[in-house]
Amino acid sequence: MNAVMKTWRPIAITMAIATAVGILGCGGDDSGLGRRYRVAGNVTYKGEPVSKGSIAFEPTNPAPPAGRIASGFIENGAYTLTTATEGDGALPGEYKVVISSSTVDMTDLAKKSGGLVRQGDAEFQKIVKNAKSLVPTKYNRAESTTLNTKVEARSNALNFDLTD
């Protein structure tokens, strides 16, 4: 994998999560989805809170797309998950945890562009080219993350301390 693809992948994942949270957060509840339970916690790297980023819980059984991914934004180390409506949590089950954090703040970029970030835009290309991951890249993909967790049928406080 070339250097450009290694840089793009975590940023593309962050954008996808941000878009999904924005779209899903605006809709009504999907009554056929099932009961979700609050999931919130903290993410640290080398003992310090991760200042910004995104977190996604990808179900291991059933795996996506049949399973529902829960995601959220990390701000000052804290996160809360959303599956269908803002802050509704996650379905009970086993998950791989994907965490991305880079020098590119996709939230600000989305706000500047009216909510839609176009990957072909020159400004986006320049920003992505210079982006650096703020956490080890092994956490950026479900295939390489070493983080696994279980969401119980109750309120869940799940913290993650990232290591090299």
How far apart (Å, rounded) are the C-alpha atoms in residues 76 and 74? 7
Q: What is the pLDDT of residue 47?
A: 95
Six token digits for residue 79: 């996160």
pLDDT(164) > 80: yes
Q: What is the pLDDT of residue 17?
A: 59
- For the ranges 4-18, 19-33, 49-63, the maximum mean pLDDT occurs at 49-63
Say which residue, 24 or 16, is predicted with more confidence: 16
How do residues 84-93 score in pLDDT, each as one tens digit? Answer: 999 999 999 9
Q: What is the pLDDT of residue 13?
A: 60
How do residues 98-150 score in pLDDT, each as one tens digit? Answer: 999 998 766 666 666 665 566 667 777 777 778 899 999 999 999 999 999 99
Half-sphere exposure of 13 (CA within 13 A, CB side): 28
Contact (CB, 8 A) for 101 and 56: no
Burial (Cβ within 10 Å: 0-12, 13-18, ≥19) of residue 114:
exposed
Confidence of residue 28 (pLDDT cuts 50, 70, 90): very low
Confidence of residue 67 (pLDDT cuts 50, 70, 90): confident
Cα 86 to chain centroid distance, Å, stands at 14
Say which residue, 29 or 52, is predicted with more confidence: 52
Contact (CB, 8 A) for 66 and 113: no
Q: What is the pLDDT of residue 35?
A: 93
